[in-house]
């Protein structure tokens, strides 16, 4: 209904006015999304509210509700936007002609960026929320599926060049890699890295294994 109302309003203004209205809509939504990120990182999903996000964004509460409907709708919109950007970044990186071990190292660098930006925190907050809310679970699962699909493609290509994966299928190896990173995210957010658990170095050590396999394959 809201989208229909917006289209109806835009249809009765001059084209130049319609462009300005669309720009304002986009700018307001982006402002709210960034305020939601700051609120979630400082308060956590359970404690944040649309009212607090509106105050952080400097907009009326009605604007937050207008654009995103609910708290879960707001945070899922933030996660969806950031997830698409990062998935596209990863797809572009893996499409490069560099050796796979170098691309894996780049993925580890991206992982650090994702932790620093707050993307990982948003993803993990919504994953936890999905355990008790089916609609959230479905949305988060769909986003994560894109990563499983991408990794399966990368592993399939690697298997062709390296001569197989032993007893594993490409999808199984992709699942192990994805779960290693998702598990690393959880424990790093809990602070394990500061308590002598070598999570980061363990993930990066995999690049050495890939490099040796590539060198052995010629």
What are the two backbone dihedrals, phi and then psi, of residue 29, each rounded to the nearest 5 degrees? -60, -40
Query: What pLDDT was estimated at residue 5?
Result: 34
- Spatial contact of 79 and 140, defined as CB atoms under 8 Å apart: yes
Query: What pLDDT was estimated at residue 3?
Result: 42
Query: What pLDDT was estimated at residue 193?
Result: 78
Query: What pLDDT was estimated at residue 217?
Result: 87
Distance between CA atoms of residues 23 and 215, nearest Å:
52
Query: What pLDDT was estimated at residue 133?
Result: 93
Q: Classify the phi-psi angles of 163: left when phi > 0, otherwise alpha if psi is within -120 to 50, otherwise beta.
A: left
CA 151 to chain centre: 15
Q: What is the pLDDT of residues 196-212, one digit of tens each?
A: 889 999 999 999 999 99
Grouping H, G, I as helix, E, B as strand and the rest as coil, residue 45 is coil
Give start and end residues of each alpha helix (H) in 100-133: 100-117, 119-130
Q: What is the pLDDT of residues 66-108, one digit of tens each?
A: 999 999 999 999 999 999 999 999 999 999 889 999 999 999 9
- Closest Cα partner for 188 from 105, 84, 118, 129? 118
Positions of the chain with pLDDT lower than 50, given as ranges? 1-24
Distance between CA atoms of residues 73 and 53, nearest Å:
13
Domains of the chain by start residue, with CATH: 1-69 (1.10.10.60), 73-218 (1.10.357.10)
Query: What pLDDT was estimated at residue 25?
Result: 57
* Token pair for 94: 């893996």
pTM of the model: 0.82
- Closest Cα partner for 169 from 151, 156, 150, 153? 156
């Amino acid at each position: 209904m809201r989208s229909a109302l917006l289209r109806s309003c835009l249809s009765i203004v001059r084209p130049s006015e319609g462009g300005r209205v669309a720009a304002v809509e986009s700018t307001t939504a982006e402002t709210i999304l960034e305020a939601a990120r700051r609120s979630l990182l400082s308060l956590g999903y359970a404690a944040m509210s649309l009212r607090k996000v509106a105050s952080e964004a400097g907009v009326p509460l009605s604007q937050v509700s207008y654009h995103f409907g609910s708290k879960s709708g707001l945070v899922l919109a933030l996660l969806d936007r950031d997830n698409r950007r990062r998935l596209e970044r990863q797809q572009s990186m893996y499409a490069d002609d560099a050796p796979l071990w170098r691309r894996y190292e780049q993925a580890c660098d991206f992982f650090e960026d994702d932790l620093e930006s707050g993307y990982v925190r948003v993803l993990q907050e919504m994953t936890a929320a999905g355990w008790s809310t089916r609609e959230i679970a479905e949305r988060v699962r769909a986003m994560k599926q894109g990563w499983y699909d991408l990794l399966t493609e990368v592993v399939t290509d690697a298997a062709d060049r390296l001569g197989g994966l032993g007893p594993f299928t490409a999808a199984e190896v992709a699942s192990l890699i994805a779960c290693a990173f998702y598990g690393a995210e959880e424990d790093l957010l809990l602070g394990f890295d500061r308590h002598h658990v070598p999570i980061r170095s363990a993930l990066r050590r995999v690049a050495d294994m890939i490099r040796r396999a590539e060198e052995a394959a010629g």
